[in-house]
Structure 1
């Protein structure tokens, strides 16, 4: 399915994924995680089915806490094992997708590498650490806003993603 989504235009892919999720649940709760390394670089991922670079993250599973979802997502997407409970920085409403998506932004400082560290998989085409002054040109706008807020300590600057 991800292979099919990767060949469709990005706008179609987003709409298909959002529609499928809405059929299961009218409200979506997700997480994104700012993972820093010892050089204060941040972890970003590039999906196989979307253009641009994003903070790692995804949907919270039924019965799962937000912090557990944050730890699971960084493991699944980048092979990062949380050595601490990720710290919640803020909650946001994402009006761009369905208007009903809520995103918890987390920070993870203490972590270790799994065998799958930064390895591509069916969902993630590429993952890597970037210095704040050397972020990819194709960084998603929301990711850029969250990183700016994080660097200045002014999160959340607004309640919207």
Structure 2
């Protein structure tokens, strides 16, 4: 919500409390969110480490939805470090997993992020991904549909 420093502080407190009481449910998601807060603060190396940790923790816990989200967030962090091929691979893996578990929101996020990675180099493929993302976002009625519409219009 635009307050990454405060979010990081609260997430760290949540993780410490979980560890103290031995309740690990939701830990992978919290680690991933901490990575996202660090990305927003420009702490990209730490964010990458946290996303990778979240991916592993989610896989171990069988939380495939969190694993897919963490793969998408890792891709966004890799994009922020101009590592587009690795970012595309993370989003591709997120899309594959989200499709397998029928998680349309993460499918849409993956497609939109892939389109963003492709846009400067392959506008036709980027447009195809934006259109697929838009279809998903419209069905879900989420605000991301407006960004997808804007991006498609820019490619016209």
TM-score, with length taken from structure 2:
0.30
TM-score, with length taken from structure 1:
0.29
Max Rg structure: 2
